[in-house]
Amino acid sequence: MMHVEHVQAQKLFSIGDLAEEHSISPRTIRFYEDQGLIAPSRIGGARIYTARDRARLKLILRGKRLGFSLADIKELLDLYDTDRSQVTQLQATLKKGRQRIADLEQQLRDLTVTLEELREIEGDVLHLLGSKGTTDKN
Amino acid sequence: MMHVEHVQAQKLFSIGDLAEEHSISPRTIRFYEDQGLIAPSRIGGARIYTARDRARLKLILRGKRLGFSLADIKELLDLYDTDRSQVTQLQATLKKGRQRIADLEQQLRDLTVTLEELREIEGDVLHLLGSKGTTDKN
DNA sequence: AAGGTAGTTGACGTATACGTAATCCGCTCT
DNA sequence: AGAGCGGATTACGTATACGTCAACTACCTT
């Protein structure tokens, strides 16, 4: 942690903090910044991350776990950031958001089917191992 | 379709058939074969795909939609192909299968959360658009 | 026989997502 | 003062997943 704990309560993080917390490299975080996914403020040259920046990073990583490209994730983040006063913007957001929802619903179906199949295999394998005299709980 | 419809009932496919059906290029299918994900038989030099090969391709593409790498997908396919007579193999399959299940369950949680957030945004946007006098069903 | 269509194997090119130095501050600690 | 640490930029390297020719073959169709 940065040496600011008792200075302010606003919880700030260094790039190293976030890297370690999420088991990624600082290089990765800088790359995300290069791609416009996150924009920390600076103190001198050093990047300084607020709790909001950290939440954004978590969103990025969740997107990655879902198999999104960084470009996809950028669009996703833009949905959260939409200017709520511009009707045209809102309409674009709605359209993109609905497309993303449809994609995720497809992914949900794929996921469900795959999980079912894997669980079936697990059952089969357990049954086979049992009938072969193995008593293994591993 | 290949010109075999009335010759036999076993449904065979050319690489072009499968490519078109799944909106991918023949090059992609050949690449999957290079990576050991699929192994069609040959007639002369030409690849010939059975219904089983086609099902395998569908599994590959489903894996891709879930964001798996081709290496991951190969392991997944290996789970289906496990030799049911080798206890050691079965135990390895069980272990890998359970790991995969755990990963997918994490993905399921990520997916659920993301869907919830997007639907909430959709609701917000709809409400905002409504209060701004727009009556749009698009 | 000639042309068109679909397939084959290389081989090289490319976008994405970082890894890996190399080199250079700025700060703290002894 | 000097060493060490964390962070910065710049630049080149790399694995994955194909795209894109090129050059050739086999099979119809006209």
Which residue lies nearest D19, CA-to-C1' measured? B27
Mark yes or no for CB contact A101/B108 under 8 Å.
no
Query: Can you give the pLDDT at residue A138?
Result: 42
Comparing A134 with B129, the larger pLDDT belongs to B129
Distance, in Å, from the CA atom of B37 to the CA atom of B14, rounded to the nearest integer, reads 17
DSSP class of A37: S
Q: What is the mean pLDDT of chain A?
A: 90
Q: How far is the CA of B23 from the C1' of C11 (A)?
A: 25
Top residue of B110, B119, B136 to mutate, by most chain A CBs within 10 Å, is B110
Bridge partner residues of A46 (DSSP)? A43
Residue B13 to residue B49: CA distance in whole angstroms: 5
**Residue A3 confidence (pLDDT):** 45
Residue B83 CB: number of other CB atoms within 10 A? 10
Contact of A40 with A33, CB cutoff 8 Å: yes
Cβ of A62 less than 7 A from strand C? no
Helix (H), strand (E) counts: chain B: 5, 2
C18: residue with closest CA to C1': A28
| Neighbouring C-beta atoms of residue B41, cutoff 10 Å | 11
B122 has a pLDDT exceeding 50: yes
pLDDT of A6 reads 42
Q: How does pLDDT run across A55-99, given as a tens digit for each residue?
A: 999 999 999 999 999 999 999 999 999 999 999 999 999 999 999
Q: Over the stretch B80-107, which tens digit does the pLDDT of each residue have? A: 999 999 999 999 999 999 999 999 999 9
Reply yes or no on whether the pLDDT at A2 is more than 60. no
Measured over the CA atoms of residue A60, residue A65, residue A70 and residue A72, the dihedral's sign is negative
